[in-house]
Amino acid sequence: MDENTIKEKLKTYIIKEIIKDEEYPLTNDEPLISGGLIDSFSLVNIAVFIENEFKVKIPDTELTVENLDTLDAMASRTMKELS
Amino acid sequence: MKIAFIEPEYKHEGYTCNQKFLDAYTDKKKHAGLYNNANLGLLTLAAQVPTDWEIQYIHTPIEKIDYNEQFDIVALGGMTRQANEIYRIIDKFKTQGVYTVMGGIHATVCHEEAASHAHTVIVGEGEDSFPRFLEDFSSGAPKSCYGPSNEIDLMSSPLPRYDLITGDFQNYPVQTTRGCPRNCKFCAATRIYGKSYRHKTSEQVVQEIQMINSVRRNPFILFVDDNMFIHKAFSRELLQKLIPLDIRFQALSDISIGEDQELLELMYKAGCKELFIGLESPTSHDIAYVQHNGWKANQTKHYSQLIRNIQDHGIRIYGSFILGFDNHTQDHIARIKEFVWENKILGQFSILTPFPGTEFYDEFKQKGRLREDKSWYHYNLYDCVIHHPNFSARELEDAIIEIFEFTFSDENYARVVRRQIEGVKNMEYKKKRV
């Protein structure tokens, strides 16, 4: 699976299930939590989605807002675990 | 007629409200600024204003007051730490000939002080008194004090005017019950709301959330009840009705909720993300001091198990701890940090603060243990307003900052997130099996 596919899947999940606005023009570098678009509880849901969907486990030490704040960061983190 | 309801700002004047402290506590990234929300009491009273009056809700932490605007009445309410700011605003409006009303917790417990500023003081719950004041004002004969009224029937409490909120809040307060049977010495809930535990109807609560949904997409709901799940049958009924609303919420509860698997499952399904629980201390001998009946002290030995039960249901724990009981020493700071780490929780850590209206206040005042140099601004839970036998004020304040920094460190935060991930996966697994 390539990074763009991961980003697309994450984007679909986030705008549908978390932001709850499928029209929302989410960009790859938009800061979701630090930018106040979603709250810190959503970090958990995003991490669960990544781990279930891509069959990876994010190391506990990497479960930080910085690592999961943008689509770019999430996809990059996921790619690291996949490889 | 034109009336303004004004939520006063929380002024940060004390030592602990320095930037270091605020960074740790109000870090949006880690706790979503959950405590910045509209004043539910004022929005509830606003619902009783005649429909032909003009109403404005001004949330001063984010909006400025225009003192040149011609209001007939300004109404303010708030907690003790907001009292001085309320008085400042009231005094300013009075010089311009505007009629002022004050209600809320502080006005209830210090009504004589409030009456020295506001034209009218509403003591106790306002749902009965406020419409009477409005009638009297309209007829030109408002009284200087209303209430306290009998415990009001929450089922007849009006739908709060969430539509008056102009600021873009992420979090919206909803109240489903009033009262708390635990009667802790540091809390004024029982004295203010009485001993009976009352609730709205589940239909009322659903209607309130639907109204919030109509003014804010995807809001986070804060159930602000002092202890939300005491009435089990009502809680079950309400949670069932919340499920289809697809919301996310935080609620306040005591730790006994951890014994009720059925309710915890319903809470998860209804969107509960976090429980704020008054744990007070990891050890029983100091908690014994906060309650006459010892209920809380008896729970401490079960804390870790009950916390695990709650976390297994995908719900995060935000514990509330008090530092500054007389037997506390430096060891206690380490004990709290150890408890936070082992149980994978976040929390609020405050210095024992005897708020007026509480049993603690009477006790500390009588013993001359309240610091005379502290104004109401400092009754913010993080500035030390007491004389302590083992700590200086600065030591207690530094200890609070130290515990906050530890709790909100990346290391502890990651453990909390991982624990919640495990809980959510556990619940998803259960759902699939069903």
Same domain, B54 and B115: yes
CB-based contact B217 A20, cutoff 8 Å: yes
Measure in Å the smallest separation between the Cα of A31 and chain B Cα atoms.
Answer: 10
pTM summary value? 0.93
Same domain, B292 and B393: yes
User: DSSP 3-state assignment of A73?
Assistant: helix
Mean pLDDT of A55-77: 92
B28 contact residues in A (CB cutoff 8 A): 33-34, 36, 40
| Residue B239, domain member (yes or no) | yes
Residue at a domain's end among B146, B178, B206: B146
Contact A24, A69 (CB under 8 A): no
CB pairs under 8 A between A and B: 61
Gyration radius (Cα) of chain B, Å = 22
Nearest by CB to residue B28, choosing from A34, A45, A60, is A34
Same domain, B413 and B353: yes
User: DSSP 3-state assignment of B240?
Assistant: helix
CB-based contact A20 B248, cutoff 8 Å: no
Same domain, B365 and B283: yes
Give the torsion sign (CA, B59, B65, B71, B72): positive
B423: left (phi over 0), alpha (psi -120 to 50) or beta: alpha
CB-based contact A20 B218, cutoff 8 Å: yes
Nearest CA in chain A to B408: A64
According to the model, what pLDDT value does residue B23 have?
Answer: 61
According to the model, what pLDDT value does residue B34 have?
Answer: 52
A69: domain CATH number is 1.10.1200.10
DSSP 8-state assignment for residue B70:
-
CB-based contact B421 A36, cutoff 8 Å: no
* Helices of type H across B201-353: 202-215, 232-242, 261-270, 284-287, 295-299, 303-311, 330-343
Quick one: which of B51, B56, B41, B47 has its CA closest to B3?
B56
Hunting for tokens 């976090």 — which residue is that?
B274
| Residue B93, domain member (yes or no) | yes
Nearest by CB to residue B425, choosing from A21, A33, A48, is A48
Helix (H) or strand (E) holding B50: none
CB-based contact A48 B220, cutoff 8 Å: no
Measure in Å the smallest separation between the Cα of A47 and chain B Cα atoms.
Answer: 7
Measure in Å the smallest separation between the Cα of B105 and chain A Cα atoms.
Answer: 30
Instruction: Look at chain B and report how many structural domains it folds into.
Output: 2
- Digit-coded pLDDT (tens) for B294-329: 888 889 999 999 999 999 999 999 999 999 999 999
CB-based contact A44 B30, cutoff 8 Å: no
B60: domain CATH number is 3.40.50.2300
Mean pLDDT of A44-72: 93
In sequence order, which residues have a C-beta less than 8 Å from that of residue B96 and are 6 or more positions away?
Answer: B67
DSSP 8-state assignment for residue A15:
I
CB-based contact B30 A65, cutoff 8 Å: yes
Same domain, B139 and B174: no
Q: Which of A20, A44, A51 to mutate to test the interface with B (most CBs of B within 10 A)?
A: A44
d(CA B398, CA B377): 19
- Tell me the CA end-to-end span of chain B in Å, nearest whole number: 58
Nearest CA in chain A to B429: A52
According to the model, what pLDDT value does residue B5 have?
Answer: 98
| Residue B79, domain member (yes or no) | yes
Contact A77, A58 (CB under 8 A): yes
Nearest CA in chain B to A60: B414
CB-based contact B30 A63, cutoff 8 Å: no
| Residue B244, domain member (yes or no) | yes
A47 contact residues in B (CB cutoff 8 A): 417, 421
Quick one: which of B17, B21, B13 has its CA closest to B404?
B21
Q: Which stretches of chain B drop beneath a pLDDT of 70?
A: 12-36
Answer whether A62 touches B (CB < 8 Å): yes
Residues 10-29 of A with CB under 8 A from B: 19-21
CB-based contact A39 B414, cutoff 8 Å: no
Answer whether B232 touches A (CB < 8 Å): no
Q: Which of A22, A39, A52 to mutate to test the interface with B (most CBs of B within 10 A)?
A: A39
Same domain, B96 and B209: no
Contact B145, B111 (CB under 8 A): yes
d(CA B13, CA B42): 25
A45 contact residues in B (CB cutoff 8 A): 424
pLDDT band with cut points at 50, 70 and 90 for residue A79:
very high
d(CA B398, CA B327): 18
CB-based contact B424 A21, cutoff 8 Å: no
Q: Which domain holds residue B97?
A: 2-11+38-146
- Cα Dmax for chain A: 33
| Residue B121, domain member (yes or no) | yes
B217 contact residues in A (CB cutoff 8 A): 20-21
Same domain, B179 and B129: no
Instruction: Look at chain A and report how many structural domains it folds into.
Output: 1
| Residue B204, domain member (yes or no) | yes
Q: Which two tokens stand for residue A16?
A: 């549908």
Residues in chain A: 83
Q: Which domain holds residue A63?
A: 3-82
Same domain, B129 and B259: no
Answer whether A55 touches B (CB < 8 Å): no
- Tell me the CA end-to-end span of chain A in Å, nearest whole number: 10
| Residue B161, domain member (yes or no) | no
- Digit-coded pLDDT (tens) for B340-369: 999 999 999 999 999 998 999 999 999 999
According to the model, what pLDDT value does residue B185 have?
Answer: 85
Nearest by CB to residue A60, choosing from B217, B248, B415, is B415
Q: Which two tokens stand for residue B60?
A: 């001063």
